[in-house]
Amino acid sequence: MYVSDVLVIGGGIAGLSVAARLSAEAIVTVLEGESAPGYHASGRSVAFAHYGLGNEPVRNLTALSMAELAAHGSVHPALHIAAEGEIAALDGLEDIHRQYGCDYTRIGPDEARALMPALKPEACAAALVDHGSLKLDTHAMLQAHVATIRANRGALLPGERVTLIGHERGRWVAVRADGTRHGAAVLVNAAGAWADEVARMAGVTPVGLEPRRRTVISFAAPEGEDVSRWPFTKTAGEGFYLLPEGRSQLLASSMDQTPSAPCDAAPEELDIAIAADRVEQATTLPIRRISHSWAGLRSFAPDELPVIGEAAGAPGFFWCAGQGGAGFQTAPALSRIAAAAVMGQPFPEDAAAAGLSLEAFSPARLGA
C-alpha cells in the first residue's frame, strides 16, 4: 500500500487547491480518475470571476478570493443588462456591487451599446458595469496548484479512478480497479459531481448533491471586428451570457442548468439551439455556424452552499464539494477554509469577519 498523510480524491480545482494548501504541512496524494487534471467541470468553465452569481456566502467567498485570483486573472469588465421588465433585478445587483465596494457604474442603454455594440435596443433599458471583474487563466491556476503539490513532495496521480474505499487500522484506503491501494489517515472528498458516490463507497452518508448540466457555444464574431474588448455581458434576468474568446470568437450560454447524473457531460442539440436563439434575439449577431460547443456539470448541495468539513461518524473523512458555478472564483478562500478544517486549525479570521462559519458549510447541516 502507498501511504501518505492525506489522500485527495479529485484533481479538479477543488481537490488541487486544497491539496496545494495542505501540502505545505503534510504529504498529500491526489488521485484523479481521468488521464489529466481538470478533465470534468474544471476544464469546462468560462473562467470568469464576478459578483453577478451565487448567494451571499458565495459572494463573500468571492470577495475573499479576488486578491489571490488576480495572480491568474486580468481585469475585464462585466456588463449586466436589464430589459424593461428586469430593472428590479438590476437594482438588486447594484445593491450587491455597492455592498462589496466594487468599482461599478450604473449606465443607460446608449452607454451600454457603446461598450457592447451588438445589443439590440429592446434588450437593454438599463445596465451596470463592474469594472473590476476578472477573466481567469484557469489552466494556469490548476497547473500552479500541481506545481506547489509537487514542490512540497506531494503527488498528483492521474488515471487513478478509485472504485472502493475502506477503513482499516486508522487509515482510509482507496483502491483502484486493478487493486492498487493508497492509504492515509485523512481522505478529502473533492470528487465534484461524483462526491456523493465517493461518500457512499466509504460508507459515509451522502449530502444530496445535484449535478446540473450547463452548455456553452462558441461562434465567430462579425467579420473584421476585434471583439476582445467586449465586456462579459449577462442578462439580469433569465437569458444568456456572452463573452469574447480572443479577438474573433464569442462564447455564450443560456445559463441552462439541467439536472444530470454524474457523467462526462455533452451538449444537447436543443440547449445549443436555445443559447444561439437567445443571443440572436437580444443582439444583432448572426450565428451562422456554431464553431464548437461543450457542456459541464455544476454540482450543488440542496441549499446551494459548498460542503466543507468532516463527516459525522467518519473521523478523517472530509468533504470539499458543492462548488456549483463558482468553483474557481471561490477556490482561494474555500481551499483555505477546507485546509484549516482538515488540519484542525481555527476557522480563518477574515472569513469569520465576513460572516462565514464552518457550521454553515458543514455536511452536518445536510444530515451527513
Ligand X SMILES: Cc1cc2nc3c(=O)[nH]c(=O)nc-3n(C[C@H](O)[C@H](O)[C@H](O)COP(=O)(O)OP(=O)(O)OC[C@H]3O[C@@H](n4cnc5c(N)ncnc54)[C@H](O)[C@@H]3O)c2cc1C
Q: Considering the rule CB under 6 A, would residue 48 count as an interface residue with ligand X?
A: yes
Over the window 208 to 227, marking each residue x when it contacts ligand X by CB under 6 A and - when it does not, the resulting string is ------x-x-----------
Of the pair 83, 134, the CB lying nearest ligand X is at 134
- 3-state DSSP assignment of residue 335: helix
Write down the least CB distance from residue 109 to ligand X, Å.
Answer: 26
Residue bearing cell 461518500: 199
- 186-189 β-sheet, strand order: 155-157, 28-31, 6-9, 186-189, 317-321, 307-310
Q: Considering the rule CB under 6 A, would residue 47 count as an interface residue with ligand X?
A: yes
Q: Are the C-beta atoms of residues 241 and 327 closer than 8 Å to each other?
A: no
| Contact residue for ligand X among 6, 7, 12, 252 (CB under 6 A) | 12
Cell numbers representing residue 232 in the block: 462579459
The answer for 315, left when phi > 0, alpha when psi is -120 to 50, beta otherwise, is beta
Q: Are the C-beta atoms of residues 198 and 186 closer than 8 Å to each other?
A: no
Contacts with ligand X by CB under 6 A: the residue count is 39
Of the pair 114, 147, the CB lying nearest ligand X is at 147
Residues between 170 and 209 with contacts to ligand X, criterion CB under 6 A = 190-194, 198
| Contact residue for ligand X among 34, 91, 268, 304 (CB under 6 A) | 34
Of the pair 45, 148, the CB lying nearest ligand X is at 45
b/e 183-210 (16+ beta carbons within 10 angstroms → b)? bbbbbbbbbbbbbbebbebbebbbbebb
Q: Is 171 exposed, middle or buried (0-12, 13-18, 19+ CB in 10 A)?
A: buried
Residues between 287 and 306 with contacts to ligand X, criterion CB under 6 A = 296, 298
Which range of residues in 38-46, 80-88, 180-188, 284-292 is near ligand X by CB under 6 A?
38-46
Which range of residues in 43-51, 79-87, 127-135, 301-309 is near ligand X by CB under 6 A?
43-51
Residues in contact with 60: Cβ distance below 8 Å, sequence separation at least 6, in sequence order: 351, 354, 355, 356
Which range of residues in 27-35, 80-88, 97-105, 220-228 is near ligand X by CB under 6 A?
27-35
Of the pair 183, 325, the CB lying nearest ligand X is at 325
Distance in angstroms between the alpha carbons of the first and the last residue of the chain: 29
Cell numbers representing residue 348 in the block: 480563518
**Residues that bind ligand X in the complex, under the rule CB under 6 A:** 9-15, 31-34, 39-42, 44-48, 161-162, 190-194, 198, 214, 216, 296, 298, 323-329
